[in-house]
Amino acid sequence: MTKKTIAIVDPYSSGALLSPLFKADGHICIAIHSLQKVPSIFASSYKKNDFDIEIFFDGGNFAYIADKLKNYGCSVIMPGAESGVTLADNLAHYLKLNHNLYDLSKARRDKFAMQECLKQNGLKYIQSHEVSNIKELNEKVNSLSYPVIIKPINSAGSDDVYKCYSYEEAIKATSIILNKDNALGLYNDKVLVQEFIEGREYVVDSISCEGRHFTTNGCLYTKMEANDSDVVYRKMEFLPPDSKELIDIIEYNNKVLDALGFLYGPSHSEIMMTNDGPVLIETGARIHGGYSPRTVAEISNLSQLNLILPSYCDVDKFNEMTENGVVFHKSACVFFLVNYIEGNVKSLNFTNKIESLPSFYDMVFLVEKGDYCPKTISLYTCPAWIVLANKDSNQIRKDIDFIKTLEKKGIFEILSDNE
């Protein structure tokens, strides 16, 4: 592939993995920030030195940025994180570069518009309402049965997601979310109110090229209740696309991607497999977060990382790479640690024992000694996760059981406010 100039909008979280890969192949990389300040949840993942050029969007310099990209010879614009999806769409559309269907840009970010789009296309959807105040909540929530889900309309990572069993709880959740910045640094002027659906929660990670959707992997989530939250991530198992349990889910997801106008680049869909079949929770027009694509690259011949660039600019290479499908040569999962005591971290224990496990592949600590560590109530308040990979799935299960014993002994020693 000839040398390209590539712009990545908000190259955070797993989006930070992209530039080193592209630069290793001789490409020029530009970091574009959709906000003047990198959101705190992403600050540690952004690596300024991985980029040749850095540009900040201030809300009024769109034309300036577009002209800069044109002068730099930029031929590919992609989002790195969820917060960069809209600006990446706008810039690519303005510069006439390959991008997803522009008229459906809002439906790929706004979770209410997303569900309405599915409804209009005859696909299974979650009954949803958007509200901007308590009066509207009163008018809308009565059409649903409790429990209901209340969450921001354009955040991610289970940020401020509440399962409410009464109108009083719904009022409290709405009041907490409205009129503040969410985890992505975006202002919550509306709240999403949804029916609660039950089932097994899956992920489908895909890459689209000229409207053809190719699934790189699936995942099965296990969540738990902790610290009065129902959305605490506990485990995520990686699944090859040819898994029997994914057949109907992938078929449905491809229809979802068509309905939402996905033509180029990555998607990360969260789908509930209910008794009535698969239903989309939400999808993001970016690669799977939390470094998961790196794990897939470790256990498989294909991942979102090695397919993303040809999906935008080299259809022949994309078709050649995907011709023989995906082959997993290992099993893998992510095990998320849970913190139950709010306070500062006194010490991190047993890390050497974790690293010596037969299945150990990677470990990411989001807090260090001396840092404040909140109680775990969402993905963004998870203090650490451990990635395990092995040809023997039984060994992974044994290693998880061992990590649980260490967790009970105290991987994190926390100084509470009372100490």
pLDDT digits (tens, 9 = 90+) for 268-326: 999 999 999 999 999 999 999 988 999 999 999 999 999 999 999 999 999 999 999 99
What proportion of the chain, given as a percentage, has pLDDT over 70?
Answer: 98
Torsions phi, psi for 373 (to 5 deg): -125, 110
CB atoms inside a 10 Å sphere around CB 187: 12
Angle of CA points 313, 270, 258, to nearest 5°? 45
Same-domain pairing of 379 and 290: yes
Task: Please state, rounded to an integer, the average pLDDT across all residues of the chain.
Answer: 93
Same-domain pairing of 301 and 160: no
Q: How far apart are CA 69 and CA 54, in angstroms?
A: 11
Same-domain pairing of 52 and 92: yes
Residue after which a domain boundary falls, among 167, 195, 223: 195
Same-domain pairing of 240 and 337: yes
Same-domain pairing of 190 and 237: no
pLDDT band, very low/low/confident/very high, at 416 (cuts 50, 70, 90): low
What proportion of the chain, given as a percentage, has pLDDT over 90?
Answer: 76
Q: Report the CATH number at residue 133.
A: 3.30.1490.20
Question: Which domain, by its residues, includes 132?
Answer: 127-195
Q: Residue 212 pairs with which residues in a beta bridge?
A: 209
Tell how far CA 168 is from the center of its chain: 30
Q: Report the CATH number at residue 230.
A: 3.30.470.20
What is the pLDDT at residue 379? 80
pTM for the predicted model, two decimal places: 0.91
pLDDT for 378 beyond 70: yes
Average pLDDT for 381-396: 95
Q: Report residue 287 as tokens.
A: 């690669």
Torsions phi, psi for 208 (to 5 deg): -110, 140
Is residue 104, in this structure, part of any structural domain at all?
no
Q: Report the CATH number at residue 92.
A: 3.40.50.20
Q: Are 65 and 91 in contact (CB under 8 A)?
A: yes
Same-domain pairing of 146 and 275: no
pLDDT for 235 beyond 80: yes
Q: Give 160: exposed, middle or buried? Use CB within 10 Å, 0-12, 13-18, 19+.
A: buried
Same-domain pairing of 277 and 375: yes
Query: How many domains in the chain?
Result: 3
pLDDT for 183 beyond 80: no
Is residue 112, in this structure, part of any structural domain at all?
no
Instruction: Please spell the DSSP secondary structure of 131-164, one letter per residue.
Output: ESSHHHHHHHHTTSPSSEEEEESS--TTTT-EEE
Q: Report residue 291 as tokens.
A: 């470094």
Cα dihedral sign, 131-42-201-251: positive
Amino acid at 188: N
Residue 98, helix vs strand vs coil: coil
Q: Please choose, from the candidates 300, 304, 313, the residue with its C-alpha nearest in 3D space to the C-alpha of residue 285.
A: 304
Same-domain pairing of 169 and 222: no
Residue after which a domain boundary falls, among 47, 82, 99: 99
Average pLDDT for 47-76: 97
What is the pLDDT at residue 360? 98
Residue after which a domain boundary falls, among 165, 195, 225: 195
Same-domain pairing of 174 and 205: no
Is residue 266, in this structure, part of any structural domain at all?
yes
